[in-house]
Structure formats: structure tokens, C-alpha cells
Amino acid sequence: MEWTGARYADTPTVEVRTWLDAPPDRVWEIVSDVTLMPDLSDELQSVQWLDGAVRPAVGARFVGRSRHESLGEWETTSFVVECERPRVLAWAVSDPASPSAVWRFSLEPKDGGTELAEWMQMGPGRSGLSFAIDAMPDKEEKIVFVRLREFERSMTATLGHIKKLAEA
């Protein structure tokens, strides 16, 4: 990831892609099981569906609990904003109208397997990162860049785990 000088208000994004030797339906079974994601992530600790939901659908909600050595522990409610089996799953964190983040998995059939992309956008709503920026406004671009790089590393690892599961 290259330095962009992005500020939080720019709603910066990061995307990671990989090819899996598995059909989109198989990959979808993994990425759409959000309760599996804590096993694939160092930061995300647990996920629980709300309101009796058991699988993603537009409007369904889930609570995620996360931990980061610099940011502490926190809990957020996410809202499924896109769900088209087996092509896209996206959720907005905290407030769908002004999310603190948006996350998306996109699946495309390619070369007899699946091209899987994980994408995320910071903001525009406030997040835990906002407090660090408030405390050190002169370092905002560096704070944003470092967090985007962390997300990129974590997303790369997550896609590696999904690839192993899908190809097993």
C-alpha cells in the first residue's frame, strides 16, 4: 500500500484480492458465515447475529467484538447492506446512513475458480480511530495510513484462510 496522505474524512479504502480453486458457491458458504470470521482474524474476537437472524440478508444485524493492542476492546453492531448470493456481501458498521466503516466481499467466477476480493472503507462516521485523530490531529494522515496498512495485512491473512478452507 502506497502513502496517499488520506484523511479520515476522505473515506479511504483498501482492497485485497486472491484467486481460489473453488466455485463461487463454495466460497460463498465461507464468506457468508460471519460467525466463522473470528477464527480467520486476529482482531475480531466474536460475532453474533441479532434479532433471530442466522444468515445474511439485507437489513440483518450482527454484533462483533474486537480487540487491538493499541485500541483496546470494543463492540459494534453491523448492518448487512448488500447480499447477493454468491456474488457480494457487504455490511455497514454502527450506522448504515453514516457508517464508521463498510466491509465487502465480492466473488467473481474466473478461470474455473473464484476471484475473491475483500474491500473496506473507513468512515464517514466516527470510529475508535477518531479518538486517536482527535488527540493528535497533526498526525491524522499517518494514523489513517498505519491503520489502512494494518487492515491490508489482516485482510490478506483472512483471504489466505478462506482460500485454505475453500480449497480443502
Domain contains 125: yes
Domain count, the chain: 1
Q: What is the DSSP string of 36-53?
A: GGGGG-SSEEEEEE-TT-
Domain contains 39: yes
Distance, in Å, from the CA atom of 139 to the CA atom of 151, rounded to the nearest integer, reads 18
Element (H, E) at 113: strand 113-122
Domain contains 141: yes
Residue 107 near residue 88 (C-beta atoms within 8 A): yes
Domain contains 1: no
Domain contains 64: yes
Domain contains 3: no
Distance, in Å, from the CA atom of 14 to the CA atom of 149, rounded to the nearest integer, reads 8
Q: What range does the domain containing 47 cover?
A: 8-167
pLDDT tens track, the chain, 168 positions: 677 789 999 999 999 999 999 999 999 999 999 999 989 888 899 999 999 999 999 999 999 999 988 778 999 999 999 999 999 999 999 999 999 999 999 999 999 999 999 999 999 999 988 989 999 999 999 999 999 999 999 999 999 999 999 999
Residue type, 154: S
CATH number at residue 33: 3.30.530.20
pLDDT value for 69? 86
Threshold 0.85, pTM exceeds: yes
